[in-house]
Chains A and B, each alone.
Chain A
Amino acid sequence: MSAPTGNRMWTARLRNRAVAALPPEQLLPDRQPAYVSSWIYVFGVLTLAALLIVLTSGAVLALEGPQWYHGSPVGHFVNSLHLWSVELFFFTMVIHLWGKFFMAAWRGKRALTWVTGAVAFLGSIATAFTGYLVQSNFDSQWISTQAKDGLNSVGVGAWFNVLNYGQMLLFHVVLFPLVLGVLVVWHVLLVRRRGVVPPFADREQADPEPEPGAPQPSTVEVGS
């Protein structure tokens, strides 16, 4: 029995398609266009770094439970770490959003990059909102009763109940992080695939879709 050739196996076909769609040299480039040497370009990765802290601290909180994070010094610390990393996440994400909005980052076939980022931003608000609802204090009571009226007034109250603690907890720790995770990974892959949007002055050079692996007109070493 002869071994099946690579292109007849579905795993090989899947790998070939994935490598063609996302060439490794684009996923982890060691050079970037010279125009990214600006502080405004660092806020995307700062947002990702903050999100990593949010997810890690949230996983620890979920593993240890409320008696730990409300009743022990280390629990209080991790609980606070979760809150303040979310504050930092939104702080850097809003600046990233402003920067990309004013440089019209959807140019050069980057519309899907912009849309996934915008939807991830809205998803982040929903995730943070459910986080405020599961603090189990007077803040969450106030926020949920106010939000209930607002959500019912726009007709989405039949889909979920913000006064349902168990439902909001599961939304916060499972459903929304999963959706947000998929959106963020998709967004980052698109940034790698399409490249970082250039300033307006370089528009003529950037609008055509570059061939995979084609050298950029002016690049700098990453980290130099």
Chain B
Amino acid sequence: MNHPGVYLHWGVIQISLANLVVIGLMIAVFIIALFVPFPGRKR
């Protein structure tokens, strides 16, 4: 924790690597939640 964070730059966009990882994880979990079958679901 005792060092500067890693930041990514893309034109005017600047985001910390940690925030980018969290956003990526949220998108991944969102997609998984849509497609993974719910236990006990009868179709």
Residue ranges of A at the interface with B (Cβ–Cβ < 8 Å): 34, 37-40, 42-43, 87, 91, 94-95, 98-99, 224
Contacts and interface: CB of A to CB of B under 8 A. Distances in A.
Interface residues of B, number: 13
Nearest to B33: A39
A95 B38 contact: no
B40 A224 contact: yes
Contact of B38 (A37, A91, A98): A37
23 contacts: A34-B42, A37-B40, A37-B41, A38-B41, A39-B34, A39-B36, A39-B38, A40-B30, A40-B33, A40-B34, A43-B33, A91-B22, A91-B26, A91-B29, A94-B26, A95-B26, A95-B29, A95-B33, A98-B26, A98-B30, A99-B30, A99-B33, A224-B40
Contacts of B42: 34
A39 B40 contact: no
Nearest to A43: B33
B17 interface: no
A37 B26 CA distance: 21
A32 to B, nearest CB: 12
B12 interface: no
Interface in B13-43: 22, 25-26, 29-30, 32-34, 36, 38, 40-42
Contacts of B29: 91, 95
A95 B32 CA distance: 11
A198 B12 CA distance: 40
A34 B34 CA distance: 15
A224 B40 CA distance: 7
Given A39-B38, A43-B33, A95-B29, 8 more contacts: A37-B41, A39-B32, A39-B34, A40-B33, A87-B22, A91-B25, A91-B26, A95-B26
